[in-house]
Amino acid sequence: MDVTELIKKAAKAKEKAYVPYSGFYVGAALLCKDGTVFTGCNIENSAYGPTNCAERTAIFKAVSEGYREFQAIAIISDSEEVTSPCGVCRQVMAEFCGPEFEVTMVSCKGDYKTVTLEELLPYAFSMKK
Protein backbone atom coordinates (compact mmCIF):
# COMPACT_ATOMS: atom_id res chain seq x y z
CA MET A 1 0.00 0.00 0.00
CA ASP A 2 1.39 3.38 -0.92
CA VAL A 3 1.50 6.34 1.45
CA THR A 4 -1.35 8.21 -0.27
CA GLU A 5 -3.76 5.34 0.40
CA LEU A 6 -2.67 5.19 4.03
CA ILE A 7 -3.21 8.94 4.34
CA LYS A 8 -6.74 8.59 2.90
CA LYS A 9 -7.57 5.95 5.50
CA ALA A 10 -6.21 8.17 8.29
CA ALA A 11 -8.32 11.09 7.02
CA LYS A 12 -11.44 8.93 7.07
CA ALA A 13 -10.64 7.78 10.63
CA LYS A 14 -10.21 11.43 11.69
CA GLU A 15 -13.89 12.04 10.94
CA LYS A 16 -14.82 9.66 13.80
CA ALA A 17 -12.79 11.49 16.47
CA TYR A 18 -14.54 12.29 19.75
CA VAL A 19 -13.18 15.72 20.65
CA PRO A 20 -15.80 17.77 22.54
CA TYR A 21 -13.14 19.57 24.62
CA SER A 22 -10.34 20.46 22.21
CA GLY A 23 -12.08 20.28 18.85
CA PHE A 24 -8.74 18.92 17.54
CA TYR A 25 -9.53 16.01 15.20
CA VAL A 26 -6.79 13.44 14.59
CA GLY A 27 -6.86 10.23 12.59
CA ALA A 28 -4.29 7.49 12.11
CA ALA A 29 -3.89 4.49 9.83
CA LEU A 30 -1.48 1.73 10.86
CA LEU A 31 -0.08 -0.59 8.19
CA CYS A 32 0.81 -4.09 9.35
CA LYS A 33 3.59 -5.96 7.56
CA ASP A 34 1.00 -8.36 6.08
CA GLY A 35 -0.92 -5.46 4.50
CA THR A 36 -3.71 -5.25 7.08
CA VAL A 37 -4.63 -1.69 8.09
CA PHE A 38 -6.01 -0.61 11.46
CA THR A 39 -7.35 2.90 11.89
CA GLY A 40 -7.82 5.03 14.96
CA CYS A 41 -9.00 8.44 16.04
CA ASN A 42 -8.42 10.48 19.16
CA ILE A 43 -10.97 9.97 21.92
CA GLU A 44 -11.14 12.62 24.62
CA ASN A 45 -12.40 12.43 28.18
CA SER A 46 -13.32 15.25 30.54
CA ALA A 47 -10.71 13.95 33.00
CA TYR A 48 -8.03 14.33 30.26
CA GLY A 49 -5.84 11.49 31.59
CA PRO A 50 -8.02 8.78 30.00
CA THR A 51 -7.86 10.56 26.63
CA ASN A 52 -6.40 8.35 23.91
CA CYS A 53 -4.54 9.58 20.84
CA ALA A 54 -5.35 8.32 17.35
CA GLU A 55 -2.00 6.57 17.00
CA ARG A 56 -2.42 4.57 20.19
CA THR A 57 -6.02 3.74 19.30
CA ALA A 58 -4.85 2.19 16.02
CA ILE A 59 -1.91 0.35 17.62
CA PHE A 60 -3.98 -0.98 20.53
CA LYS A 61 -6.69 -2.19 18.15
CA ALA A 62 -4.07 -4.08 16.15
CA VAL A 63 -2.34 -5.56 19.19
CA SER A 64 -5.69 -6.61 20.68
CA GLU A 65 -6.35 -8.56 17.46
CA GLY A 66 -3.00 -10.37 17.70
CA TYR A 67 -0.96 -8.26 15.27
CA ARG A 68 2.61 -7.49 16.29
CA GLU A 69 4.47 -6.63 13.06
CA PHE A 70 4.03 -3.10 11.77
CA GLN A 71 5.45 -1.25 8.79
CA ALA A 72 4.11 2.30 8.83
CA ILE A 73 1.57 4.75 10.21
CA ALA A 74 -0.01 7.91 8.78
CA ILE A 75 -1.26 10.62 11.14
CA ILE A 76 -3.43 13.55 10.06
CA SER A 77 -5.15 16.39 11.90
CA ASP A 78 -6.85 19.70 11.19
CA SER A 79 -3.56 21.53 11.75
CA GLU A 80 -1.96 23.45 8.91
CA GLU A 81 1.36 21.97 10.03
CA VAL A 82 2.24 18.27 9.90
CA THR A 83 1.01 16.45 13.01
CA SER A 84 3.76 14.82 15.04
CA PRO A 85 3.00 12.04 17.54
CA CYS A 86 3.14 12.98 21.22
CA GLY A 87 5.81 11.50 23.47
CA VAL A 88 3.50 8.81 24.86
CA CYS A 89 2.61 7.66 21.34
CA ARG A 90 6.27 7.61 20.35
CA GLN A 91 7.04 5.38 23.34
CA VAL A 92 4.15 3.03 22.46
CA MET A 93 5.49 2.85 18.91
CA ALA A 94 8.93 2.00 20.33
CA GLU A 95 7.35 -0.88 22.24
CA PHE A 96 5.76 -2.46 19.18
CA CYS A 97 7.69 -1.17 16.15
CA GLY A 98 11.29 -1.27 15.02
CA PRO A 99 13.52 1.75 14.49
CA GLU A 100 12.86 1.58 10.71
CA PHE A 101 9.07 1.94 11.21
CA GLU A 102 7.84 4.76 8.97
CA VAL A 103 5.81 7.62 10.45
CA THR A 104 4.04 9.88 7.97
CA MET A 105 2.84 13.14 9.49
CA VAL A 106 0.20 15.00 7.47
CA SER A 107 -1.22 18.54 7.54
CA CYS A 108 -4.82 19.42 6.73
CA LYS A 109 -3.53 20.87 3.46
CA GLY A 110 -2.18 17.46 2.43
CA ASP A 111 1.48 18.28 2.94
CA TYR A 112 3.32 15.42 4.57
CA LYS A 113 6.67 14.32 5.88
CA THR A 114 7.82 10.74 6.45
CA VAL A 115 10.47 9.89 9.02
CA THR A 116 11.57 6.75 10.80
CA LEU A 117 10.70 6.03 14.40
CA GLU A 118 14.39 6.20 15.21
CA GLU A 119 14.44 9.78 13.92
CA LEU A 120 11.43 10.67 16.10
CA LEU A 121 12.70 8.90 19.21
CA PRO A 122 16.47 8.35 18.92
CA TYR A 123 17.03 7.17 22.49
CA ALA A 124 13.87 5.18 23.09
CA PHE A 125 13.47 3.54 26.47
CA SER A 126 13.22 -0.23 26.05
CA MET A 127 13.44 -3.36 28.16
CA LYS A 128 14.30 -5.27 24.95
CA LYS A 129 17.90 -6.16 24.24
Residue boundaries of the structural domains of the chain: 3-120
What pTM was estimated for this model as a whole? 0.95
Is 65 marked active-site?
A: no
Express each pLDDT in 93-124 by its tens digit.
Answer: 999 999 999 999 999 999 999 999 999 999 99
Mean pLDDT of the chain: 96
Q: Is 79 annotated as a binding residue?
A: no
The pLDDT score that the predictor gives to residue 24 is: 97
Which residues does 114 contact at the CB level (< 8 Å), separation at least 6? 3, 102, 103, 104, 105
Query: Is 42 annotated as belonging to a binding site?
Result: yes
Residue 45 is labelled as binding a ligand: yes
- Of 55, 65, 81, 102, catalytic: 55
Write down the CATH number for the domain with range 3-120. Answer: 3.40.140.10
